[in-house]
């Protein structure tokens, strides 16, 4: 038995004292292990990064020239006698659960995960451990996902219908993860898929990493508007309501997110269609994942941590709420810090924490500054 827990939560992030490293730290540290490239998990400013191999190009695109080491699933590295390995989290391409073993004690940090195999990233794999640090973004029993095949079918049906009605199809989803998942779920025989600059930059980074994606066409001022009407435009949430999007009028716009499961959230988004497609585990998924780890202790990071830990305690787990900066309690709407909007290259990055921030609220002036910068960098248009 160790004198103190193998992992602890401090002001910088999830810390392993024995190995002197952090997992997904939110403040600059010396040694950071990154579960995946969404920016509430992969922050700028660490001296050294360790991530999964398939996160390499996206991290470099988002964070610039960082000191990055990569590792595949199942490989192991040692820090001060602490054994570290990566295991598929099924969240997005390159997402990993981090397994830590020291003196016979095993902890696993889930990062973000989903249990359904999306066919794009390596499927979630339960890892046996003593303590499990789990996200619970959708840790309420009202969240139950339908199979992705069903959602894809709906999506393609909607695209065909828009085509018949002469409307452009605009589909909104996060640029890293959701966009690629949608792309692979679309029926490419219907038409071309056009991408917003931010999404295309991410696609290019992934392709550089050797990931095979369906063909896409970057939207530029020269792109033929008539042709686009027959296609489908993929764009990030930050483009909703912007002049960029209004140019495609008449259009029908769909929003892809787990939050679309609730009527209220759907109506707030005022989308023409809401597709309940999430890269996070639903209620049953979270519980089955936790059970499969055979752990005794669970720490819950972001989402409905209070309710979910209470429920886990009632079914016999030693469950705790952990305070992290991954979105925080119920923080599903607003971003704290607009600085994050633009990376060093001056490119717009939409609020990256995937599903847990469906809507970015920016003042108009912030939006226009971000857009101008992006234009200069050849990003957004």
Partner 1 sequence: MRIFAQLFSSLDETNKTTQKVQILKEYFVSVADEDKIQTLALFTGRKPKRQINSTLVKNWAMEMAGIPAWLFEESYQVVGDLGETIALLLPQAIETQDKSLSDWIAEINALSPLSEAEKKAWLISAWQSMDQQERFVFNKILTGSFRVGVSQSLIIKALSEISGLETQVLTHRIMGNWDPATFSYSQLIQETDGSEDISRPYPFYLAYAIQETSSQSKTAKEINSALGNTEDWQAEWKWDGIRAQAIQRKGEIFIWSRGEDLATDKFPELHPFLSELPEGTVLDGEAICFADNCPLPFSVLQTRIGRKNLTKKILAESPMAFIAYDCLEFEGEDIRHLPMKERRAKLELLQKNSSHQHIFRLSPVVNFNSWDELFEMRKRSREEYAEGFMLKKLDSPYLVGRKRGDWWKWKVDPLSIDAVMIYAQKGHGRRADLYTDYTFAVWDQDKLVPFAKAYSGLTDKEINQVDHFVKRNTLEKFGPVRTVKPHLVFEIGFEGINKSSRHKSGVALRFPRIMRWRQDKKIEDADTIETLKEFLQ
Q: Which residues bind partner 1 (CB under 8 A)?
A: 140-144, 261-268, 270, 272-274, 304, 307, 310-311, 314, 328-334, 359, 361
Q: Give the SS3 label for residue 372.
A: helix
Q: How far is the CB of 141 from partner 1 (least distance, A)?
A: 6
Q: Between residues 121 and 276, which has the closer beta carbon with respect to partner 1?
A: 276
Distance separating alpha carbons of residues 202 and 183, to the nearest angstrom: 13
Q: How far is the CB of 11 from partner 1 (least distance, A)?
A: 17
Q: How far is the CB of 150 from partner 1 (least distance, A)?
A: 12
Q: Between residues 184 and 307, which has the closer beta carbon with respect to partner 1?
A: 307
Q: Between residues 78 and 361, which has the closer beta carbon with respect to partner 1?
A: 361
Distance separating alpha carbons of residues 36 and 353, to the nearest angstrom: 11
Distance separating alpha carbons of residues 308 and 290, to the nearest angstrom: 12
Q: Between residues 242 and 307, which has the closer beta carbon with respect to partner 1?
A: 307
Q: Between residues 221 and 264, which has the closer beta carbon with respect to partner 1?
A: 264
Q: How far is the CB of 351 from partner 1 (least distance, A)?
A: 13
Pairing of strands 217-218, 76-79: unpaired
Q: Give the SS3 label for residue 31.
A: strand
Angle between helices 197-208 and 56-63 (to 10 degrees): 140
Among candidates 369, 345, 378, 62, which has minimal Cα distance to 242? Answer: 369
Per-residue HEC secondary structure of 51-70 comes to EEHHHHHHHHHHHCCCCEEE
Angle between helices 178-185 and 197-208 (to 10 degrees): 80
Distance separating alpha carbons of residues 199 and 237, to the nearest angstrom: 11
Q: Between residues 194 and 255, which has the closer beta carbon with respect to partner 1?
A: 255
Q: How far is the CB of 232 from partner 1 (least distance, A)?
A: 18
Q: How far is the CB of 140 from partner 1 (least distance, A)?
A: 6
């Amino acid at each position: 038995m160790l004198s103190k827990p193998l992992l602890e939560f401090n002001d910088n992030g999830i810390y392993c004292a024995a190995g002197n490293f952090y997992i997904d730290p939110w403040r600059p540290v010396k040694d950071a292990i990154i579960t995946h490239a969404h920016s509430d998990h992969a922050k700028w400013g660490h001296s050294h990064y360790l991530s999964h191999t398939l996160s390499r190009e996206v991290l470099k695109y988002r964070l610039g020239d960082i000191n990055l080491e990569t590792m595949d699933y199942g490989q192991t590295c040692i820090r001060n006698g602490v054994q570290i390995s990566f295991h598929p989290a099924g969240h997005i391409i390159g997402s990993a659960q981090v397994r830590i073993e020291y003196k016979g004690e095993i902890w696993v940090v889930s990062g973000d995960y989903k249990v359904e195999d999306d066919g794009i990233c390596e499927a979630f794999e339960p890892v046996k451990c003593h303590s499990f640090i789990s996200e619970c973004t959708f840790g309420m029993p009202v969240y139950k996902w339908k199979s992705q095949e069903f959602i894809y079918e709906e999506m393609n049906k909607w695209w065909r219908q828009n085509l018949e009605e002469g409307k452009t199809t605009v589909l909104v989803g996060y640029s890293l993860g959701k966009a690629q998942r949608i792309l692979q779920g679309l029926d490419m025989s219907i038409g071309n898929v056009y991408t917003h600059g931010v999404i295309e930059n991410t696609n290019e980074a992934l392709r550089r990493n050797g990931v095979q994606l369906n063909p896409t066409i970057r939207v530029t001022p020269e792109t033929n508007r008539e042709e686009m009407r027959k296609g489908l435009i993929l764009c990030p949430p930050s483009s909703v309501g912007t002049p960029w999007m209004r140019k495609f009028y008449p259009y029908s716009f769909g929003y892809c997110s787990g939050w679309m499961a609730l009527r209220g959230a759907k109506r707030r988004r005022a989308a023409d269609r809401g597709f309940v497609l999430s890269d996070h585990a639903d209620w049953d998924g979270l519980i089955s994942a936790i059970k499969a780890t055979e752990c005794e202790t669970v720490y819950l990071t972001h989402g409905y941590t209070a309710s979910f830990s209470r429920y886990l305690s009632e079914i016999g787990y030693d469950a705790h709420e952990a305070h992290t900066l991954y979105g925080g309690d119920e923080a599903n709407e607003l971003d704290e810090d607009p600085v994050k909007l633009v990376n060093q290259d001056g490119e717009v990055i939409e609020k990256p924490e995937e599903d847990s921030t469906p809507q970015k609220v920016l003042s108009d002036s912030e939006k226009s500054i971000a857009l101008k910068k992006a234009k200069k960098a050849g990003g957004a248009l």
